[in-house]
Amino acid sequence: MGTDADASTALPAHLRPLVTLCYQTGARLGEAKGILWAQVDLQNRRIALMEGQTKSGRARVLPLSTELVAMLEPLPKDAWWYAFSARNLRKEWTKATKKTDCKRLLFQDLRRSAVRNMMRAGVQQAVAMKISGHSTPHIFQRYNITDEFDLHEAVKKVEEHKS
């Protein structure tokens, strides 16, 4: 079975920055689609989401990875243009997930992947919640999907701790 990263590379180039942002930060699709170039600061590797632009109504910052900055740098920029294209997203997402054997992968799963990846990387929960925009630990934990990999990693950590 393919992965969400496989589905991303099967998408047309104009959709990859949007998908990468959501996969890496857990940004909601509606938030990401509404980002204007005026909110993007490539030099400081950040996007400033404004009050009212987020589900909670609170402003927050989305940090940008080196990969995402590289995707965004060559794009044409006008302060009042949208930074991320979502043209034909639904149709292209369906095609990409079928092509990569990820038929059951929903766009919303990118948000879960972002949370899981941050937690596995050792990012503190409070920091991951600020990035993803989760207001409560209870809802955040619903996105922090645990699987068999996590169980094996836990046993390894306990074994290493005993040594």
- In tens digits, the chain (163 residues) has pLDDT values of 456 655 667 899 999 999 999 999 999 999 999 999 999 999 999 999 999 999 999 999 999 999 999 999 999 999 899 999 999 999 999 999 999 988 889 999 999 999 999 999 999 999 999 999 999 999 998 888 888 888 888 898 888 888 7
- SS in 3 state form for the chain? CCCHHHHHHCCCHHHHHHHHHHHHHCCCHHHHHCCEHHHEECCCCEEEECCCCCCCCCCEEEECCHHHHHHHCCCCCCCCCECCCCCCHHHHHHHHHHHCCCCCCCCCHHHHHHHHHHHHCCCCHHHHHHHHCCCCHHHHHHHCCCCHHHHHHHHHHHHHHHC
pTM as predicted: 0.87
